[in-house]
Structure 1
Amino acid sequence: MRKLIPLVSLAALAACTVGPNYEGPKSAGAVAAPAAFARAGQTSTAQPVVADWWRGLNDAALDALVERALKDNPSIAVAEARLRQARSALRLDKANGLPNANVQGTYLRAELPNGGLTGGTADGGTQGIDFYNVGFDASWEIDLFGGQKRRVEAARAGVGAAEAQVADAQVSLTAEVASAYVNLRDRQRRLELGRATAETRRRILALTEQRFRAGTASQLDVERIRGLVVESDAAIVPIDAERDAYLNALAVLVGEAPGTLDAELSAPRPVPLPPARVDVGDPAQLLERRPDVRAAERVLAQRTAQIGLTKAAAMPRISFLGLIGIGGTKPGDLFDLGNLAGIAVPRLQWNALDFGRNGARLGQAEGQRDEAAAQYRGAVLTALRDAEDALSRYAARRASVAAAARSKATADRAAALMQQRYRAGVATLIDTLDAERQRTAAEQSVVQATAVMTADYVALQKALGLGWRT
């Protein structure tokens, strides 16, 4: 019974875990108290689908680009490599809490002076001796104050943070691909309309020059129209450069060299339109969903566990070392159990006088925990602000597209009426071409407003933390 008392005492000590137990961030509930976003607009509070939000744009080319990017983009590969490192670190910390055993074999050959072994007088010769040994040693440190438990807890939180960072990289990447694709289609369409406008102005210039030669137009009229032609040609140049830049950006995002996608994406296509209804959920769901918020929460958990790890380092440590070996001066001695030797060594370590070193380390760990708590709260507030801002912008862009569409409808009607008047002989061709130019300009405004609205839809999906895959 007396022999059991020390073991029971050790077991009771091993059940003690120093340091604060992590109970989650205290500020999340208060910050996310509103039941719905203040500026939801034409949206639904239903829970959105986390992955594949871009499929709501109904563009097969975009779907393919996003899938390629998620597979081959270097930023995703970097995040996944860090996740593998974190998981390996967790496995290592778990294994470090188990006994450590080593097997070793030794052969020693020594040449000693004659008499050196027996204490006699050396005669100038040497005497050889062989030594053979096989054995193993084992060591184990008892986790008296939960230091190892806190180390594993911190490593597990690190894995959670790395997983969230992979998801955050996916969110950012899908938004970047969609944004670049929308801008590409916008520039392609604006190039078409810009060239059409330039061609219309050239036709107006040719007619004005004819009128000038006939004496029915002034040189000022000719120069004014010629200036508009030059202006149209100049406006095309930066748009053309921007189109090439977005082609290069998309190639790099999918893990290819710039120029690789030129042939694949050279044919213009309409700017994709967002769905009629956008599901945004509520703030509490947002905080559970956004990877950057989840990563910040896991870092807070990791820093909290490291406080306990630091406290445990200041406590006494008990470890056991065991050695078992068999051997002798002949190989046959390795099989003679009479040559078996063993030793068991308990060891107590306690840095009782460290002159405040561990206290300083503890203060550092607590400061890191407080820093992580502040960063988490900042991440929460940033997430809510991003969502509110994105919702507000998206609602405003929808109104802008509607206004541009009404303006285009007016320009379409005016161009159609001018065509009728021209065919009836009561309007000139120049007036008809000018009305067509105004119609093209109105269409350009619609295309640009639509692209901005879709880009804001993409930004909204990113702000909602969508686009990652479990």
Structure 2
Amino acid sequence: MRNITILTLGLALGAGGCAAGPDYRAPGQATLGVPEQYYQAPGNAITDAELANWWTQLGDPTLNTLIEKAIGANLDIAQAKARLRQARESLVQSRSQLFPTVEGSAGAGRDFDSDAKDSSRFTLGADAAWEVDLFGGIGRSVEAARADAQASYYDLASVRTAIIAELATNYVQARLAQEQIGIARNTLDIQTENLNIAGWRVQAGLVSSLDEESARAQRAQTAASIAALESSYRAALNRIAVLIGEAPGAATKPLEEGGPIPIAPASLATGIPGDTLRQRPDVRSAERTLAAETARIGVAKAQLFPSLQITGNVGTSALSVGKLTDVITGGLFASLAQIIFDGGQRASEVRAQRAAAQGAFDAYKKSVLTALEDVENALSAVQSARGRTEQFAIALDASSNSALLARSQYQAGLTDFQTLLTAEQSLLSARDGLASAQADQALALIQLYSALGGGWQTMDGTTQ
């Protein structure tokens, strides 16, 4: 028996390096369909440092402070950290299968006999079991668990980038709403003055009551728009509060003092499409998921081959504690098992896992193409916002001059109220349009850097 056991151990050690299933290699850019350049940009180089804190390019200290709070207190990020810890513990559990399990036991008893002297009995024992990883199935399961843990890390990074982008978006929208409310209130003051002028001209018999009613209707519409803007503004503030892990209300009180719409820089770096494989955490998570599913092919394939189990035990018993080491007994046993017939179940599991790996590859490729789509859409949004800002600046200048002339001419009785009404409406539209275009420039920057995968590069190493 001893010779057989030694021979079995030798076979186990010799076969330990044999791993079932394919060795994983990450797909290349050509396989994933990644172009050399973005269609709408030359691809200026961009560093991890620029991506890591991209929001600082907006030059808004209040926004910087809010984002730092969100990184530390957001509850979605906290949940993602918990999932990462859970995945890492699963890796520890998988690794434990590579080692023997040992159980110890101890006992004590007292025998009573009316015809003899009472006696005590003590026992000590230990049992060990080890499944030898003959064909690498356990090693592949550890490989899969490691890839799953890495995917969870990148999932955490994805949540972080999404929260940063969402907070920045709501901040810009809040500042835009503040600007639009100010424009509407200023316009309301002018329209109140127009209403007073129209009423005076009606009383003087210079015009019909139609002018006064038109002025009253215009003023009421502007007043109604202020209520809608204030509702949107409050919703943005409430969302910001939740994103930084606090209740709506007092948390965003400092923002109510007002502030300018963040200004996007004139030039933006994008890098090249190949960078998305490294920068986008969701893409990297999909790649790690592909690696895990590929490793599980080996796990399934190893079930087709024999399994080797080595067990052993050691024990002793004595009538006193001091004599427990006098006689020690034990044994070592090796067993080899092989499935002879299972109706094709295990072969089917291998095929099913190959299909799962193919699906993971398709999901990975889709995540790459989606990332490229996001960047191209963001680049288009940047160009569109810049063009509209330039044109609305021209429209505002012309509308301001037109409204000024129309107001003075109406007061002098040289034009009708409808002309003034049209000029005032054009001015309000131009002011709103320019504010929206400026906000859209900032939002396009947020969209672009979110698409590029910015915001996680300096993530705390303790979570990695």
Residue of structure 2 equivalent to 1:402: 390
Residue of structure 2 equivalent to 1:197: 187
Determine the C-alpha separation between the residues in 2 that align with 1:227 and 1:452: 31
Determine the C-alpha separation between the residues in 1 that align with 2:9 and 2:285: 41
Residue of structure 2 equivalent to 1:315: 305
Matched, 1:243 2:217: no
Determine the C-alpha separation between the residues in 1 that align with 2:276 and 2:387: 26
Return the index of the structure with the highest Cα Rg: 1
Query: What's the offset of the Cα at 1:100?
Result: 2.2
Determine the C-alpha separation between the residues in 2 that align with 1:185 and 1:436: 24
Which amino acid is 1:25 matched to?
P
Which amino acid is 2:223 matched to?
D
Query: What's the offset of the Cα at 1:201?
Result: 0.4
- Helix, strand or coil for the counterpart of 1:311? helix
Change (3 A) 1:126 1:348: farther
Matched, 1:10 2:12: yes
Q: Is the 8 A contact 2:91 2:149 kept in 1?
A: yes
Residue of structure 1 equivalent to 2:373: 385
Q: Which moved more, 1:214-223 or 1:29-38?
A: 29-38
Matched, 1:152 2:135: no
- Helix, strand or coil for the counterpart of 1:247? helix
Determine the C-alpha separation between the residues in 1 that align with 2:414 and 2:422: 11
Query: What's the offset of the Cα at 1:33?
Result: 4.0
Determine the C-alpha separation between the residues in 2 that align with 1:76 and 1:33: 30
Query: What's the offset of the Cα at 1:375?
Result: 0.7
- For structure 1, the residue ranges without an aligned partner over 5 or more in a row are 115-124
Matched, 1:23 2:11: no
Query: What's the offset of the Cα at 1:129?
Result: 6.0
Query: What's the offset of the Cα at 1:442?
Result: 2.5
1:61-140 alignment runs, 5 A limit: 61-109=62-110, 130-140=120-130
- For structure 2, the residue ranges without an aligned partner over 5 or more in a row are 460-464
Which amino acid is 1:107 matched to?
A
Residue of structure 2 equivalent to 1:357: 345
Determine the C-alpha separation between the residues in 2 that align with 1:30 and 1:348: 43
Change (3 A) 1:338 1:126: closer
Which amino acid is 2:59 matched to?
N
Residue of structure 2 equivalent to 1:179: 169
Query: What's the offset of the Cα at 1:413?
Result: 4.6
Matched, 1:461 2:435: no
Query: What's the offset of the Cα at 1:13?
Result: 1.6
Residue of structure 2 equivalent to 1:117: none
Identity %: 32
Residue of structure 2 equivalent to 1:366: 354
Matched, 1:446 2:399: no
Change (3 A) 1:46 1:77: closer
Residue of structure 2 equivalent to 1:162: 152
Determine the C-alpha separation between the residues in 2 that align with 1:50 and 1:111: 80
Q: Is the 8 A contact 2:15 2:135 kept in 1?
A: yes
- Helix, strand or coil for the counterpart of 2:182? helix
Determine the C-alpha separation between the residues in 2 that align with 1:127 and 1:409: 115
Query: What's the offset of the Cα at 1:110?
Result: 5.9
Determine the C-alpha separation between the residues in 2 that align with 1:221 and 1:309: 83
Determine the C-alpha separation between the residues in 2 that align with 1:412 and 1:200: 13
Change (3 A) 1:366 1:127: farther
Q: Is the 8 A contact 1:47 1:285 kept in 2?
A: no
Query: What's the offset of the Cα at 1:362?
Result: 1.5
Determine the C-alpha separation between the residues in 2 that align with 1:30 and 1:351: 38
Which amino acid is 1:13 matched to?
A
Residue of structure 1 equivalent to 2:44: 44
Residue of structure 1 equivalent to 2:60: 59
Which amino acid is 1:87 matched to?
R
Q: Which moved more, 1:245-254 or 1:5-14?
A: 5-14
- Helix, strand or coil for the counterpart of 1:63? helix
Query: What's the offset of the Cα at 1:239?
Result: 0.6
- Helix, strand or coil for the counterpart of 1:197? helix
Residue of structure 1 equivalent to 2:244: 254
Which amino acid is 2:182 matched to?
E
Determine the C-alpha separation between the residues in 2 that align with 1:381 and 1:441: 38
Query: What's the offset of the Cα at 1:311?
Result: 1.1
Query: What's the offset of the Cα at 1:145?
Result: 0.3
Change (3 A) 1:198 1:361: same
Which amino acid is 2:288 matched to?
R
Q: Is the 8 A contact 1:32 1:284 kept in 2?
A: no
- Helix, strand or coil for the counterpart of 1:37? coil
Change (3 A) 1:219 1:93: same
Determine the C-alpha separation between the residues in 2 that align with 1:39 and 1:31: 20
Q: Is the 8 A contact 2:51 2:449 kept in 1?
A: no
Which amino acid is 2:12 matched to?
L
